[in-house]
C-alpha cells in the first residue's frame, strides 16, 4: 500500500508505473523519444525504470520485465533498445526541494505544457504520405 499526494494506491508489489513503462518499452524497442512526468511518490518507480544508461553506455539491451514474463510466459528474448540517453526525459513536478530520481524538475504542470510547446514550435511541419495522397484526390 502506498500513500500518495492525493491518492491511496493498493497493488501487488510487482505492479507499478515502472513495470508498466518497462513493458511498453520492451514491446516497443524502436521508441526514439520518452517523456514521463509526475508529481507523486508513485511516479518514482517510473523514473527509476528509465535509469537505463549507466555512464559511458550508449546501447541498452533489455531483459523481459516481470510483467512480460507473468503475462506472456517465460522464454522471451532480450531486446536491444533504439533509444539514446539524450532522448529520455523524466520530469518531477513540485517544490524545488523535492527529492526525486527524475532528471528534470518543474514547479507547476503549466511549465510542462510550456516546455512541450517550445519543443514542437521548433519542429517544421512535414505532411505524412497519406496526407499528400489525400490532397491529390478529387473532392466528391
pLDDT tens for each residue of 15-59:
789 999 999 999 999 999 999 999 988 899 999 999 988 877 888
Residue with cell 501487488: 12
Structural contact between residues 91 and 37, judged by C-beta atoms closer than 8 angstroms: yes
- Concatenate the DSSP letters of all residues of 2-37 into one string: EE-SS-EE---TT-SHHHHHHHHHHH-TT---EEEE
The span from the CA of 76 to the CA of 59, in Å, is 19
19-28, 55-64, 72-81, 117-126: lowest mean pLDDT where?
A: 117-126
Contact 17, 47 (CB under 8 A): no
Which pLDDT band, with edges at 50, 70 and 90, does 129 fall under?
confident
Beta strands in the chain (DSSP E): 2-3, 8-9, 34-38, 60-62, 79-81, 88-93, 104-106
Amino acid at each position: 500500500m502506498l500513500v500518495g499526494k492525493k491518492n491511496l494506491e493498493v497493488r501487488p508489489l510487482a505492479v507499478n508505473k515502472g513495470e508498466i513503462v518497462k513493458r511498453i518499452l520492451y514491446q516497443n524497442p524502436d521508441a526514439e523519444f520518452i517523456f514521463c512526468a509526475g508529481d507523486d511518490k508513485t511516479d518514482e518507480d517510473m523514473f527509476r525504470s528509465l535509469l537505463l544508461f549507466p555512464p559511458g553506455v550508449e546501447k541498452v539491451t533489455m531483459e523481459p520485465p516481470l510483467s512480460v514474463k507473468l503475462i506472456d510466459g517465460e522464454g522471451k528474448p532480450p531486446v536491444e533498445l533504439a533509444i539514446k540517453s539524450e532522448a529520455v526525459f523524466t520530469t518531477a513536478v513540485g517544490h524545488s526541494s523535492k527529492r526525486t530520481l527524475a532528471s528534470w524538475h518543474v514547479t507547476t504542470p503549466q511549465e510542462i505544457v510550456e516546455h512541450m510547446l517550445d519543443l514542437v514550435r521548433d519542429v517544421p511541419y512535414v505532411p505524412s504520405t497519406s496526407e499528400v495522397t489525400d490532397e491529390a484526390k478529387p473532392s466528391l
